[in-house]
Amino acid sequence: MSDHPLHLFRYCPKCGSGQFEIHDFKSKRCRSCDFVYYFNPSASTAAFITDDNGRLLVARRAKDPSAGTYDLPGGFVDMSETAEEAMRREILEETGLAIRNLRYSFSLPNIYVYSGFEVHTLDLFFEASIRSPVALTPADDVSELCFLEKSEIHPADFGLTSIRKAITVWLNRL
């Protein structure tokens, strides 16, 4: 059996007590103040952006995890932000594109390891299309942007597990 997802959390976030114990498979309960903390997934977004030639926009990761591998534009949803707002913000930050025609497509559960900590996420995938040619500006945590033909897209070239799964789902839908 693997560690409880909250095994690193030793103190109650409400009262600071060290009597913070496993309650069930996704929560811990404080014996001092009775607070129960549920470990729910963080929301994350990614976009399948195609041009009018049907090519997919991919980003090369500039940072770990999986630096140097392909990825889709996207990232975490901030507090008080909708998934659509987060998706538009992330696309703008990473590519310089202002996308308006987003369509929700599907979601996948994921574990994203950040600074040695397993962040459980729910990855929300969107689709959008743009007209070619377009000026792209790789920025934020992206080192390069390019368009790939369907025949050039190989899930193994994508470094993150959920993105590889999503690429497979997307390709099977085409």
pLDDT per position as a tens digit, 96-131: 999 989 999 999 999 988 888 889 999 999 999 999
Number of other CB atoms surrounding residue 67 within 10 Å: 12
Taking domain 42-173, whether its CATH number is 3.90.79.10 is answered by: yes
Contacts for 103 with CB less than 8 Å, ≥ 6 apart: 126, 127, 128
pTM score of the predicted model = 0.91
pLDDT at 2: 61
Q: Give the integer Cα–Cα distance in Å for 149 and 133.
A: 15
Q: What is the pLDDT of residues 44-90, one digit of tens each?
A: 999 999 999 999 999 999 999 899 999 999 999 999 999 999 999 99
Q: Are 158 and 70 contacting, i.e. CB atoms less than 8 angstroms apart?
A: yes
Percentage of residues in the chain having pLDDT higher than 90: 86
pLDDT at 118: 87
Q: What is the DSSP letter of 50?
A: E
pLDDT at 4: 85
* Residue 161: pLDDT band with limits 50, 70, 90: very high
Q: How far apart are the first and last CA of the chain?
A: 39
Domain with CATH 3.90.79.10 in the chain: 42-173
Q: What is the pLDDT of residues 2-20, one digit of tens each?
A: 688 899 999 999 999 999 9
pLDDT at 38: 96
pLDDT at 125: 98
Q: What share of the chain is helix, strand, coil (3-state, %, to 5)?
A: 20, 40, 45
